[in-house]
Amino acid sequence: MRTLERALSSRRRRLAAALLVLAVVFGLGNATANASSGDEGAPGDEASLLAPVDVLQVSGLVDPVVVDQIEQAIDRAATDGAQALILQMNTRASVVSRGEMARLYERIANAPVPIAIWVGPSGARLYGLPAQLLVAADAAGMSPGARVGRMGTPLTEDVAAVMPAELRAGTYGFNEAREADGLLNVTSADEGVPAIRNMVFGLDGLEADGVTLHTAVQRVNDDGGLDNEITVVRFHKLDLVAQLFHTAASPPVTYLFLVIGLALLLFEFFTAGIGIAGVVGTALVALGCYGLGVLPVQPWAVALLLFSMFAFAIDVQVGIPRFWTGVGMASLILASWFLFGTADGQSLRPSWLTLVVGIVGAAITFFSGMPSMVRTRFATPTIGREWMIGELGSALGDVDPEGVVQVGAARWRARTNRALDIKAGDAVRVIGIDGVTLEVEPEAGGARDYRERRPRSSTPTDPTE
């Protein structure tokens, strides 16, 4: 009996030992599998755990809106935990004062987060005072085909110590900029930094203000090679309102907004009432005036542009382009050519295409379109309008000495003697016609009864005759 119990006990011990061995084997297998899967996913997880990099895209002229957005981007990067801020720049000049640019330079140089500047994409330009920001940045890179230069007088002594003399008026491509000390310190290939991904990867390992940037990791792919994984990149652009004002402050847009807006307001003035043309024209002129306030302009050219619209108006009111239309066109061409000055030594004159669109569009409008629209709006058929002399109508508003009257089913621009008093709703009598403008007098109190001037041989009842 004891022999049987010892045998059963021995079997139980062997079974327990076997189960223990199996548990250890399966445990090690699972641990190995988990470790293996963890090694494959770790780089991606590690990359996602790295602090993000912010990117602000800056293009066009550096104006007050852009300066404000750059400063906001620096504050946002510091508060949102970004390890660096990249300014993607493509600009040819600044339209802010040297003092404002010097303040922005110091803001970038003393930023709480590392600032990098990437001149991209391919073919981008960084000219004028904005190009001096390369010296203030902690890191800088250029895409293939990009150029920097035309920096002008240095903003600070730091810039003067680093900036090659050739860059005051000349430009550098990537190879020349790489050889110049203090301009570039991020390169991914001999031809430059082609994309923002390469710029982010190029920041990995750089030291800025005692901090080493970690923007990328490497992992082994299925073929045994190494793949680069960069950290999260957060792209930022100008918000909608800022983009609207930034666009309005570009020379071609400012010019076209002014010409189109003034033409629409002129049309609305001659069409008696406030319609969509007046609302759109007012908005365009307001944005154009904002652009004039930001951009360097010639005051006399602005005055000449306004005078051209006044000259157009003289002939528009009679519905026939004559001498003053030619004066308006000559004034518009001259104002368009000299409207904008220079920024950072570069002319801001709009392109030929922009000037052609503005000038040719104005010619079509004021030689053909505007007179036709005014005649259509205010005139009944123009053949045989003499029948209207002596007809009665009513004033739609005060005629003092000009206003709008209604004769039959049509509205007309009207003019009366300054000594006469015609109020809204008064009955009036037509005493003459000048182009598309009726000469009227009050029905009661007129000097003569002009019905006697109507031809006795022909008194048509149909106004179209």
Looking at the predicted structure, is the pLDDT value of residue 153 above 60? Answer: yes
Look at residue 365 in the predicted model and tell me its pLDDT: 87
Residue 223 pLDDT level (bands cut at 50, 70, 90): low
* 177-196 pLDDT per residue, tens: 888 877 888 876 667 889 99
How remote is the C-alpha of 169 from its chain's centroid?
A: 28
Whether 102 and 186 map to the same domain: the answer is yes
Average pLDDT over residues 369-396: 70
Whether 221 and 358 map to the same domain: the answer is no
Last residue of a domain, one of 337, 363, 378: 378
Identify whether 15 is part of a domain.
no
Q: What is the CATH number of the domain that holds 205?
A: 3.90.226.10
Whether 268 and 131 map to the same domain: the answer is no
Whether 219 and 255 map to the same domain: the answer is no
Average pLDDT over residues 170-178: 89
402 three-state secondary structure:
strand
Identify whether 210 is part of a domain.
yes
Percentages helix, strand, coil for the chain, rounded to the nearest 5? Answer: 50, 20, 35
Whether 329 and 374 map to the same domain: the answer is yes
Whether 427 and 333 map to the same domain: the answer is no
Identify whether 202 is part of a domain.
yes
* 52-110 pLDDT per residue, tens: 999 999 999 999 999 999 999 999 999 999 999 999 999 999 999 999 999 999 999 99
Q: Number of folded domains in the chain?
A: 3
Identify whether 17 is part of a domain.
no
Q: Which residues contact 394 (CB under 8 A, 6 or more apart)?
A: 405, 406, 425, 426, 427, 428
Identify whether 33 is part of a domain.
no
- Which among 250, 339, 238, 341 has a CA at the least distance from the CA of 63? 250
Last residue of a domain, one of 378, 399, 434: 378
Identify whether 72 is part of a domain.
yes
Q: What is the CATH number of the domain that holds 427?
A: 2.40.50.140
Contact (CB, 8 A) for 413 and 272:
yes
Identify whether 220 is part of a domain.
yes
Whether 59 and 204 map to the same domain: the answer is yes
* 394-425 pLDDT per residue, tens: 999 888 888 889 888 778 888 988 778 888 88
Rounded Cα distance between 253 and 248, Å, is 6
Identify whether 23 is part of a domain.
no
Whether 369 and 273 map to the same domain: the answer is yes
Whether 393 and 369 map to the same domain: the answer is no
Contact (CB, 8 A) for 346 and 92:
yes
Rounded Cα distance between 365 and 267, Å, is 10
Last residue of a domain, one of 236, 259, 283: 236
Task: Give the global pTM.
Answer: 0.69
Whether 57 and 95 map to the same domain: the answer is yes
Looking at the predicted structure, is the pLDDT value of residue 326 above 80? Answer: yes
Whether 228 and 290 map to the same domain: the answer is no
Other beta carbons within 10 Å of 265: 17
Whether 317 and 352 map to the same domain: the answer is yes
230 three-state secondary structure:
strand
User: Domain range for residue 397?
Assistant: 385-453
Look at residue 206 in the predicted model and tell me its pLDDT: 86
